[in-house]
Amino acid sequence: MMKAIDLFNALGDRFRNFGNDAESQRVIDEACRANEWFTPHEIRRAVTAIADRMLRRDALETWLSGYPVPVAAPRRVLVIMAGNIPLVGFFDLLCVVASGHRCLVKPSAKDSVLIRHTVELLRTIDLDVAIEFYDGSSPVDAVIATGSNNARRAFRCRYAGTPTLLRGHRQSVAVLSGSETPEQLAGLADDIWAYSGLGCRSVSRLFLPEGFRLRLTMPPMNPKFRNDYLRTRALLTMTGWPFFDLGCAVAVEQEEFPASLSLLACTYYRDLSQVGTWLADHDQELQCVVSECIAHSRRTGFGCAQSPALTDWPDDLDTMAWLTEQVN
């Protein structure tokens, strides 16, 4: 099999042309029909982010230099993928193949079109690439699975006795100082509403200094998101709950993460130490923290939450370390 760096660097070259030819445009159209939350713009955005942030030779070389790859004893690793945003399961596939294991792929029905197309592209680069689609009965040596917290509990029971890396539901927050530039606020809007706010890296709760007046400009939204906004706004109006209308979303002052996609929770603070304490107490619930004014191990800059790099591990779990140290 081709070396992982050569393989995925070549995939990156193909991804950079994605959407510019008839075949990839057909794939985009089919993926949008299979999942009405997907849009052509956001599919191209996801593919471009992967190509630029993960599939460049220099980034791959630096990343893999820290691990003993390929592993001496390759195993069959099942990857059960989520499908909430385009190609959200790709990173696990990359990790398994790059570590030297064989990847058994179980895509979500919501994102199977893009995942299958990606595997086909990899096979055109290297016919012997160590990837196959899981048939539901083949033996597996290890499992990586992403889903809801309920799904995680089910995976834990189903694969008891098998090495597992299981991820559940997490959410992301932003902490503002009140002195953010218009460019940073534009980036924050992207952190909140890219992919209709469906990803774990989508910011759904803001920590704001007392007296701060929120002003955000939303990007064009999926019609399904707008329907959610209309329902949410109507419910808040009927119940008399105070809210600030952002045009296609509503912001409310509350201490909990919002239950609706179009609802943005705002919490006002007097001192950043209050926020720091909250972040420490709720770390297991958080995927990333968007901020320039507070420290956090998974902090990212404004406008960067939706474009993770190779070491922005989901749920703060080093997937490559697990694959090379515990799967043997």
Q: Tell me the helix, strand and coil percentages in the chain, rounded to 5.
A: 40, 15, 40
Please state, in angstroms and rounded to a whole number, the distance separating the CA atoms of residues 306 and 104: 26
**Domain, as residue range, for 194:** 171-300
pTM above 0.85, yes or no: yes
Question: Is residue 25 a part of any domain in this protein?
Answer: yes
Instruction: Work out whether strand 244-245 and strand 250-253 pair parallel, antiparallel, or are unpaired.
Output: antiparallel
3-state secondary structure of 47: helix
Considering the domain architecture, whether residues 28 and 149 belong to the same structural domain is answered as yes
Q: For position 154, what pLDDT does the model report?
A: 85
Considering the domain architecture, whether residues 162 and 214 belong to the same structural domain is answered as no
Query: Distance from CA of residue 187 to its chain's centroid?
Result: 17
Question: Is residue 283 a part of any domain in this protein?
Answer: yes
Considering the domain architecture, whether residues 155 and 189 belong to the same structural domain is answered as no
Q: For position 148, what pLDDT does the model report?
A: 82
Considering the domain architecture, whether residues 22 and 162 belong to the same structural domain is answered as yes
Q: What tens digit of pLDDT does each residue of 280-306 get? A: 999 999 999 999 999 999 999 999 999
Question: Is residue 288 a part of any domain in this protein?
Answer: yes
Please state, in angstroms and rounded to a whole number, the distance separating the CA atoms of residues 96 and 134: 14
Please state, in angstroms and rounded to a whole number, the distance separating the CA atoms of residues 324 and 74: 10
Which of 113, 135, 169 corresponds to the end of one domain?
A: 169
Considering the domain architecture, whether residues 222 and 140 belong to the same structural domain is answered as no
Q: For position 220, what pLDDT does the model report?
A: 84
Count of the separate structural domains present in the chain: 2
Q: For position 271, what pLDDT does the model report?
A: 94
CATH code for position 124: 3.40.605.10
Which of 147, 169, 191 corresponds to the end of one domain?
A: 169
Q: Report, as ranges of residue numbers, the positions in the chain whose pLDDT lies below 50.
A: none
Considering the domain architecture, whether residues 26 and 164 belong to the same structural domain is answered as yes
Question: Is residue 317 a part of any domain in this protein?
Answer: no
Which one, of 141, 133, 128, lies nearest residue 75 by Cα? 141
End-to-end Cα spacing for the chain: 20
Q: For position 1, what pLDDT does the model report?
A: 62
Which one, of 116, 94, 118, lies nearest residue 107 by Cα? 116
Alpha helices in 54-176 (DSSP H): 57-64, 90-99, 112-125, 149-158
